[in-house]
Structure 1
């Protein structure tokens, strides 16, 4: 399983999470098998101005992601992620990737409720 966490710096598991997936400077990708971290990689967010949110979805999909953990996301990109088979989880409590990952692996992070998506464009 490859889990993507939007982040602001290239600090791996210690990175502070980005407030919104589209505005994050980086995506921290964590490969997990049977609850054990196999690899951590950091990728620059190429942005999504020219392709709209569909481009942002394909950027994350290109990283091999099947899971995205966010603290904010628009309704349209949420629908697009779900359409391409990427599960989206909501976590607005943990500040770092490491803390968010720990809760996710422990099963404490719920799939996003559409009510948690942003209705305005970012």
Structure 2
């Protein structure tokens, strides 16, 4: 399974998982089965609020899941339409969240848990 983890840093598995999908500068892409790790820039970083294009953000890289602290309704809907599952991250690194997802320790996002806006520091308002 290929998983995308939004992040503010390019530290591979040590990257902190970011609180919001659309405004993350980078995505750490992990092949949970093979162990490959790559970091890509968010190709849709400067979109208008509410107009996130998650597949463009990932630069066309195919993933099976996204693990993130928060995500907007539109982005979640678009990911789900493509068969991509979004999981709610815990505060911590990619490696910590990867271990949790491998053990079914992260819940799936549902539409009622999506971000309703942004706070002063870019954090999601739920």
- 2:2 maps to 2
Which residue is 1:42 aligned to?
Answer: 39
Task: Kindly indicate which of the two structures has a greater share of residues assigned to helix.
Answer: 1
Measured in 1, the distance between the counterparts of 2:116 and 2:63 equals 24
When residues 85 and 48 of structure 1 are mapped into structure 2, their CA distance, relative to the original with a 3 A threshold, is: farther
**Alpha-carbon distance in 2 for matches of 1:100, 1:10:** 16
Q: Which residue of 1 aligns with 2:56?
A: 58
Instruction: State whether structure 2 residue 38 is matched by structure 1 residue 29.
Output: no
Q: How much has 1:13 moved relative to structure 2? A: 0.3
Report if the CA contact (8 A) 1:57-1:77 is conserved.
Answer: no
Aligned length: 116
Shift of 1:41: 0.4
Deviation (angstroms), 1:48: 4.8
| Structure 2 residue matching 1:41: 3-state secondary structure | strand
The CA distance in 2 between the partners of 1:4 and 1:80, in whole Å, is 15
Q: Report what 2:97 is aligned to.
A: 100
What TM-score, normalized to structure 2? 0.82
Find the residue that maps to 1:23 and give its secondary structure.
coil
- Structure holding more strand per residue: 1
Query: C-alpha displacement at 1:61, in angstroms?
Result: 6.9
Change (3 A) 1:79 1:61: farther
Q: Would you identify which runs of 4 or more consecutive aligned residues in structure 1 move more than 4 Å?
A: none
Question: Residue by residue, what CA displacement relative to the aligned partner does 1:50-72 show, whole Å, maximum 9, x if unpaired?
Answer: 7x313x33332711111001110
Superposition RMSD in Å: 1.9
SS in 2 for 1:98: helix
Quick one: structure 1 residues 107 and 40, their matched pair in 2 at CA, closer, same or farther if it must change by over 3 Å? same
C-alpha contact (below 8 Å) 1:12/1:41 kept by paired residues = yes
